[in-house]
Structure 1
Amino acid sequence: MDTILEVRDLCIQLKSQKDYYNLIEEISFDVKKGEAFGIVGESGCGKSLTAYSIMGLISSPNLKTHKGSIIFENRDLLKMSKSEIQKIRGKDIAMIFQEPMTALDPLFTIGYQLMEALEIHKNLSKDEMKRLSIEILKKVGIPRAEAIIDEYPHQLSGGMLQRVMIGIAMINNPNILVADEPTTALDVTIQAQILSLMNELRSDYGMALIMITHDLGVIAETCDRVAVFYGGHIVEVADVVSLFHKPMHPYTKGLIRSVKTLGDKNQSLYTIPGTVPTIDQMGRGCRFADRCERALSKCKDNKPPLQEYENGHLCRCWLNEEG
């Protein structure tokens, strides 16, 4: 498959009163056309920040892109002007945000917000935009679509709002859909429906999907390949089958061990020891070293590189160098 997005050596810094800190560092990955690529890790590891970088949505004066590139269709998104990135955002690359209740404007109807996405990127009549809005609502499984477009966000359930968000993201038929924790606020039944819908839409539209989540179950359900984030680094990249059956990084192994399954007779739930260090406590070496049960002496002082070991399986760990 051809590559549609290339992220290379991305580094984003936070400016404090005393110094600059690398929130994410040396982030590199590719997304293929039509592929579902997962980004998994716990809160604060840099998943959403990476997504906002791709979308050109980092606006805080205390955050800056220190180095790196994000190549889409042979152009670096990080070097584009605001007007150039606005032409791509929502049309070629679209995003679904974590909380549909806060992502949608409560003052405007569902139809207005759907048609706004069309109006920015296409020159259509109001009747045509309304027709396409009703059509996409039906496509994402919303009943009474003709009536829903005249309703406000507070009149819909969380699951319906998430479907509306997917509709807004899909209405311009994007090449890449970035989904940032799209099922976090939903109950298990609705979550399964949303994941099934996203798989169906990806197949129908032939788009690439970047699924950002902390839930390994979501990764297993939707993704072809996955990157594991920890402390602002990518620690492992592999296809989903290899990641679950042959994980290489101690952090990935800990995440998988922490998942309970039906019929598991072991009553105790495994937890990774220690806590995630704050950004000013990150050492010079491996950022997972203080929590790793198999850390070597050089792990704390020497940062391991992200290396390929077999069939595109990448890992950032000195243990693999030592055999």
Structure 2
Amino acid sequence: MNGFHWLSLPSTLLAIWMASQAVAQQPWYGDAASPLEGRLLEEMAEGRLERFSLLEAGLIASGVDCPVELSQYVDRFTTVTYQAFLSSDSVATDAAIQADELLQRLHRLVLIGDYDPFCTEIDRTLATGTFNCVTSTILFQYLARLHGLTVTTIGQPDHVFCRIPGYPPITIETTSPQGRIEGEFDRTGRGHWGSHGSLSPDVSTDERVLTDVQLIAKIYYNRAVVLLKADAHAAALPWLLRATGLDPDDTLARNNLLACLNNWALEETRSEDFLEALRLLEQGKAIAPDYEAFTHNAIYVYLRWAEHLAAQQRLPEALQVLDEARQQHPTVSLFDRARTSLTELGVDDHLTIQPARSR
């Protein structure tokens, strides 16, 4: 939608603002992919899991939308792991030894594939044995609870793992069958896989205890990351909204949400859908008013829009865009210069600023 034809500019911009506000105010859990996910999201929006187990929640967040299929996955996992313990002679009561046995059995029976940082769906892990730190941590946590072992989930930027409380605490790197680390976590990262599939040379000390809901949020976040790598911003946005809605303290997810909206707006600008670009930037500003790229790129979009209209010999509409842009950004002198340039010289490429792409 590149021109006005049937809408005046002020009402068009008002529509943009109203649309962005409506999206920003809509509950992030309001666009569930299935009735099953809808029930899960409504429950997790209150910060708890009661009707669903951690494994069930992980499967639903991974995309399982059929109750029968959900039950089959849970029953299969429970049966396989439980039978292994029935055939075991172990009577270990020490938490560390029990955690070792659980982890080794999990890798021998379920996590039989390769580590893959992009394998973030629990159903895929159960079907193929391929896993990442999120899927292995969810399965280990669920298995530990089945056997009465109290385990805490720990989150770092780009990584999750488990810890058994105590003095000293025992860290469980769930991506390895030999993942028990006595005492404090090895902060050099040696022997520990980061979420990008390589040994982390410098692991951040920024740790926090994660609730079950925050752990499930990692599934949504990782699903979004896969899509963002393919520049599939529209598909990634719902997962990022879920991730940040479930875990508002996840700085990495929030930064990627803002980057998604910003970079998607630049895509729409390149496609000459300037209205959609401005709507996305307004949606972003409603979430993070101080995110500078949104304001910078709004200026960029207005200038590109005006140039586009002028190039189509639609100078009155181009000038109207600049006038409205000046009202939105009264301290930006560039719009006055662009207005003069277009009026006197026609299209002037020298006034176009460079867009600010988020990384």
Same fold (TM > 0.5): no
- Higher RCO (CA 8 Å, separation ≥ 6 residues): 1
Q: Which has the larger radius of gyration?
A: 2
Return the structure number with greater strand share: 1
Q: TM-score, normalised by structure 2?
A: 0.28
TM-score (norm 1): 0.30
More helix by proportion, 1 or 2? 2
